[in-house]
Structure 1
Amino acid sequence: MDIAFVLYPNMTALDLVGPYDVLSPGPDVTSHFVAATLDPVPAGSAMRIVPTTTFDTLDRADVIVVPGGEPYEVLAEGTVAAWLRKVHPTATWTTSVCTGSTLLASAGVLEGKRATTHWALRDLLASLGAEVSTDRVVRDGSVITGAGVSAGIDMALTLAGILWGDVFAQGVQLAIEYDPEPPYDSGSVEKASPEVVDLVRGLVANEFGAGRSEGVKA
């Protein structure tokens, strides 16, 4: 089974690494880190991830995983969307984490489908034609989307259960000791205080570039 993990500049590392650690131990899995070139791809200010193949070389995969990150420039540039349009039709499963769903939407993968994303980017996802859900993990046909960042682990465990059965998926969950007991109860916009929500909205606006929405539609 070939699983393609999509790389692009300024993606969020946990969006990639969480699903990778869940899915890569699966039976007969070959993992591919696919990007525009073989040059190391920045994931944050200091981390670099080295691709194993390129969009030009890899023309099919059984499973596609698209992480989130800073979406606007990638959406406007269009290389990831072009590759997704090529490989999605023959993939068994196409998945995303966080703002990765906006890349699926820009490729037409989410047309008429329910999908989720980071809570601060729901309006952007809706503007790209998806039916936005607030659920943490959403499955619609052969497409599975996860909400913000840490939801990528939930998304991948959901897919692992589908691919290899509940016992295997539960075994992976135990192996990575995924049994969260966070010190705070502010992990969703519905639970967080207004002060915390405003703080994060400001951070997101700065990180993603509040004025870049025009580039998305270019």
Structure 2
Amino acid sequence: MVDLTAEIVLFDGFDELDAIGPYEVLQNGAQAGASLETRLVTLEQSGLVTASHGLRVEPDGTIGRPDLLLVPGGGWTTEDGGVRAVVEDGRLPRAVGERYTAGVTVASVCTGAMVLAEAGLLEGRPVTTHQVAIDDLEAHAETVVGARVVDDGDVLTAGGVTAGIDLALWLLEREFGARIATAVETEMEHERRGEVVG
């Protein structure tokens, strides 16, 4: 029995590092002693998901009721696939909103924040996203801040791309303590940038 379950939801056009960076951090956290299970999931059953740079990923299954649900970004500024397509489709934002209402902590990396915005989760909250979506996000959120990671309790957001690594390290520290997070940071030879805003 694990203390925390995390799911990273994939969709065609997601940015590879937005999802795989946090996945590796969380998996390394489990190896360092965190009681944590991380899965890559999709909204509906899918054999392979194709990311924005062509990486093809086989998900572990479909979205469930994890303790933490992370939404990556990618494709907000393009017309084919990615975050813009899932926001326009509406099903993923609805699924994220339903899980939040059921008590799931929700996080986003990069333009994944636009999925959270469409789900109605960002009103009255401090948030961040990739610089290309700042203006769009300001229409949905109380305060958009220039931070790598914003922790508002049950909703967390991270800036662009590599900020997802900092987000996942912060989640390890928040949930399992500084020793685990520091061990993973050292193993991955990554230095976190900036303070977590919350």
Task: Give the TM-score category using the shorter length.
Answer: 0.7 to 0.9
Q: Which residue of 2 aligns with 1:160?
A: 172
The structure number with the bigger radius of gyration is: 1
Residue deviations 1:59-83 (CA, integer Å, cap 9, x gap):
x110111111112111100121011
Runs of 5+ unmatched residues, structure 2: 76-82, 193-198
Structure-2 residue corresponding to 1:18: 21
SS in 2 for 1:99: helix
- Residue by residue, what CA displacement relative to the aligned partner does 1:84-141 show, whole Å, maximum 9, x if unpaired? 0111123453111000111111111112111100011101111234521111111112
Which one of the candidate residues 41, 64, 67 is aligned to 1:34?
41
What is the letter of the counterpart of residue 41 of structure 2? V
Decide which moves more: 17-26 or 89-98: 89-98
Match of 2:73 in 1: 68
Q: 1:146 to 1:99 in 2, by over 3 A?
A: same
Identity %: 34
TM-score with structure 2 length normalisation?
0.83
- Is residue 129 of structure 2 the alignment partner of residue 124 of structure 1? no
- SS of residue in 1 equivalent to 2:114: helix
For normalisation by structure 1, the TM-score amounts to 0.76
Task: Please tell me the residue identity of whatever aligns with 1:153.
Answer: I
1:38·1:52 contact (CA, 8 Å) conserved in 2?
A: no
User: Is 2:186 aligned against 1:174?
Assistant: yes
Partners of 1:45 and 1:139 in 2: CA distance:
29
Aligned partners of 2:142 and 2:14: how far apart in 1? 21
Aligned to 2:116: 104
CA contact 1:61–1:91 (8 Å) conserved in 2? no
Taking the aligned partners of 2:53 and 2:162, their CA distance within structure 1 comes to: 19
The answer for the alignment partner of 2:195 in structure 1 is none
Residue-pair matches, total: 177
> Structure 1's 14 and 39: CA in aligned 2 closer, same or farther, altered over 3 A?
same
Gap regions ≥5 residues in structure 1: 181-218
Runs of 4+ in 1 over 6 A off after TM superposition: none
C-alpha root-mean-square deviation of aligned residues, in Å?
Answer: 1.6
In structure 1, the partner of 2:80 is: none
